[in-house]
Structure 1
């Protein structure tokens, strides 16, 4: 059975998907270009043994397991303790396979480059040669062992502990969401039980199941975070503050896989909100508050919801983003730049494969891409350059507020303050400001800059909390559009409006 590659890399030389197709061909030529010593024995018997290993067929077992597993996306259940151990077993295998691929890439480069044969012609011969096939067999065996172990744990989970499934402790839940942020798209592609399904939770941390009516405020977390991230400070968090100021408002928290494409999460969030409205027709208003990536997912959901003319969009009153990289995150751009440099260095280029392991969600943060069109036409796991990404304007009729923060306490006009921002996102990016067609036109009075606050503390800062509560409480009644933008300093006794 031909196992799919775990991590897609578009280059022919490093593509395991290409490797897999080459492994199944019946090539019997020797890799004489690499082993010129006449004393080296022929390896035809070894090739036959490798071919026998590759012919092991697990289709029947996979079919049986498919009947007992609907997948995380279909079941829509939180990751359980049994899911955690099953996912770890498969994840360990994925790690071994990836290490094998990196070792092979380095081995291949060290052998071929000194001979001047590091090109497509000889790289293809490497794949068909003995050494390439050995590496391929190692990957296949590890995949088979890991998948079988995960399958045994899945069967145990489905048939023995199904009725007594234990929820994950909060500490492990946070770890699972970190793993999803780093490699969440890989988890989905490999049907790993650790992949977090998109769900709504209530203020008590339980999946949302109650009948809803009136006004709803939904908080959307950022990269590698979870719905629990909003509750880091007991009885002093943003959700509680909203509930205290507006007791009739229901506060919900979105939990999702931050490693997936932002636009894919946007599609799913849009459909989830439509299902929520269909099941609770008495919902009168929906407000979205997104931190970091959560703001981009909210914008993506609004973009596709409006494009598909879904009813839920008409009920959205306010959109508030906290430190969202509307025009990209500095850290991802630096990481991509460093990876490109490493890829061009002799004998070190193979290490650039390490950078390809990061999730598609992280890659989308490079330029703040929230549309399918920014990546669908590309090979591999990249995004369109900054100047070629597709604009996604804000829906009309929705009050939008942008919050940025800066580590330095000097005024926003300082170029250093703007560029450094909150250590991850520049001030201009968080405020949606751009010279080109991608600028998000939000009135100055709907923008606030909080000095002395880092990116992660945006959801816990007292000053930020008070401002968000004020905007939601006002609910568009005041004319903020005619006011200047807000500058809040840590030494201020109150937010300066």
Structure 2
């Protein structure tokens, strides 16, 4: 990986707080001025090599000779130098000049659009951002229902929402749908919604360790919290499972306060598209041109790689350094805590009562129905959630299940199973009272 220059090191305030608008500008300045790595240079040269081999039919030996010609090699270096100079001399100084002109940017929190940008960058490059101490690298932070960093005392029931890959804590509602949090807030008093924001490019198990520490600190600071509910979308469900696994290992008290766990479209048995892309990469990597695809596909974060089979433990990956290798499932079992009521939600783009096997495999575009429901032919990986705790929503894609009104209604029924019965009883009593009043009036 490229190393930081002294200029970069003087800025980085690595205190793991959420980035400000100034941090975003400085982080982008670091990215555009980072020296091109050897990997990128090799990729550019390999593109030329594959074009000569496949399109012009040049032999391998001749391609090597061509690329070693002095003026061609100088052209490569000139091209790299221009890109480097453009980033260092133009873009980076311009971004840093804005920070100097507007010092209040250091105090300004991110807007929703900047949260979107930073979330995407973390999903794709998050592990690299951390390694380089780039201020764009996100910390693991809890926000309240109104988008502010969680502060103050908490009491009663707390619901923790954990988003998926390349997303952020603002993504739990839309203009059309108020979201799950709003639905649950309407169910009872002393109900607090908290939303996690984190770096989705890190290993899922690394985020699991961070989350269990954050939640342990939360309950220590707020002894009046009575119970915890967990809701995770996509990768977020795997992060929650990892946090529960390591929280239980570390005997953290918050784990035993958890009543419910809901996973929305989480790839418990892996993500179809990540695994499919991996297999294509393996199958075609020996052919000209398609080797380029193999290299490009391999440029993705460790968090994305963990989605291949739904890895939630450190030992799923720490002894396997290969990013490209045999597509085997080397996971270790991570059973769900027995005391927690666990619920799985799957989405599928197919219509109800129609049997489309290819669509069932694709599921919600990214995760198959079976994977989202924790079903696996190997008993070691079966998550054994009761059928009554599973729900499949037809006509919803991977992102719609995160906030759709039907999903919110189902979660409310799971969390508050007697709420509808109480409401019906109140309506029944009201109707009886109304009939009796009408009888009195008629008399």
TM, length-normalised to structure 2: 0.81
Matches within 5 A, 1:142-291: 161=103, 164-233=106-175, 236-291=178-233
Shift of 1:99: 4.7
Local SS of the residue matching 1:287: strand
1:335-362 CA-to-partner distances (Å, cap 9, x unmatched) read 2123234421125424422112122211
Provide closer, same or farther for how the CA distance between residues 235 and 331 of structure 1 changes in structure 2, counting only shifts above 3 A. Answer: closer
Q: Tell me what 1:106 maps to.
A: 47
Shift of 1:181: 1.6
Q: Tell me what 2:315 maps to.
A: 373
Local SS of the residue matching 1:192: coil
TM, length-normalised to structure 1: 0.73
Shift of 1:161: 2.1
Shift of 1:116: 5.1
* 1:75 aligned onto 2:22: no
Shift of 1:440: 0.3
Cα RMSD of the aligned pairs, angstroms, is 3.6
Provide closer, same or farther for how the CA distance between residues 146 and 265 of structure 1 changes in structure 2, counting only shifts above 3 A. Answer: farther
In structure 1, distance between residues paired with 2:358 and 2:11: 56
Provide closer, same or farther for how the CA distance between residues 141 and 394 of structure 1 changes in structure 2, counting only shifts above 3 A. Answer: farther
Provide closer, same or farther for how the CA distance between residues 136 and 337 of structure 1 changes in structure 2, counting only shifts above 3 A. Answer: farther
Provide closer, same or farther for how the CA distance between residues 352 and 205 of structure 1 changes in structure 2, counting only shifts above 3 A. Answer: same
Local SS of the residue matching 1:418: helix
Comparing both chains, which one has the higher relative contact order based on Cα–Cα distances under 8 Å and sequence gaps of 6 or more?
2
Shift of 1:332: 0.9
Provide closer, same or farther for how the CA distance between residues 186 and 238 of structure 1 changes in structure 2, counting only shifts above 3 A. Answer: same
Local SS of the residue matching 1:474: coil
In structure 2, distance between residues paired with 1:324 and 1:405: 10
Q: Tell me what 1:472 maps to.
A: 415
Q: Tell me what 2:406 maps to.
A: 463
Alpha carbons 2:349, 2:395 under 8 Å: kept = yes
Provide closer, same or farther for how the CA distance between residues 246 and 131 of structure 1 changes in structure 2, counting only shifts above 3 A. Answer: farther
Q: Tell me what 2:437 maps to.
A: none
In structure 2, distance between residues paired with 1:328 and 1:204: 33
Larger displacement relative to structure 2 (107-116 or 83-92):
107-116
In structure 2, distance between residues paired with 1:75 and 1:310: 23
Shift of 1:87: 2.0
Q: Tell me what 1:327 maps to.
A: 269
In structure 2, distance between residues paired with 1:218 and 1:449: 22
In structure 1, distance between residues paired with 2:21 and 2:303: 25
Shift of 1:253: 0.6
Alpha carbons 2:23, 2:106 under 8 Å: kept = no
* 1:91 aligned onto 2:31: yes
Alpha carbons 1:409, 1:452 under 8 Å: kept = yes
Provide closer, same or farther for how the CA distance between residues 455 and 235 of structure 1 changes in structure 2, counting only shifts above 3 A. Answer: closer
Alpha carbons 2:21, 2:106 under 8 Å: kept = no
In structure 2, distance between residues paired with 1:239 and 1:267: 25
Provide closer, same or farther for how the CA distance between residues 364 and 321 of structure 1 changes in structure 2, counting only shifts above 3 A. Answer: same
Alpha carbons 1:178, 1:225 under 8 Å: kept = yes
- Segments of structure 1 that go 5 or more residues without pairing to the other structure are 7-57, 479-497
Shift of 1:104: 2.1
Q: Tell me what 1:312 maps to.
A: 254
Matches within 5 A, 1:122-137: none
Provide closer, same or farther for how the CA distance between residues 153 and 175 of structure 1 changes in structure 2, counting only shifts above 3 A. Answer: closer
Partner of residue 365 from structure 2, selected from 398, 423, 437: 423
In structure 1, distance between residues paired with 2:332 and 2:171: 31
Alpha carbons 1:326, 1:432 under 8 Å: kept = yes
Alpha carbons 2:29, 2:93 under 8 Å: kept = no
Provide closer, same or farther for how the CA distance between residues 393 and 382 of structure 1 changes in structure 2, counting only shifts above 3 A. Answer: farther
Q: Tell me what 2:392 maps to.
A: 449
Q: Tell me what 1:349 maps to.
A: 291
Shift of 1:144: 8.8
Alpha carbons 2:177, 2:405 under 8 Å: kept = no
Shift of 1:443: 1.0
Alpha carbons 1:407, 1:451 under 8 Å: kept = yes
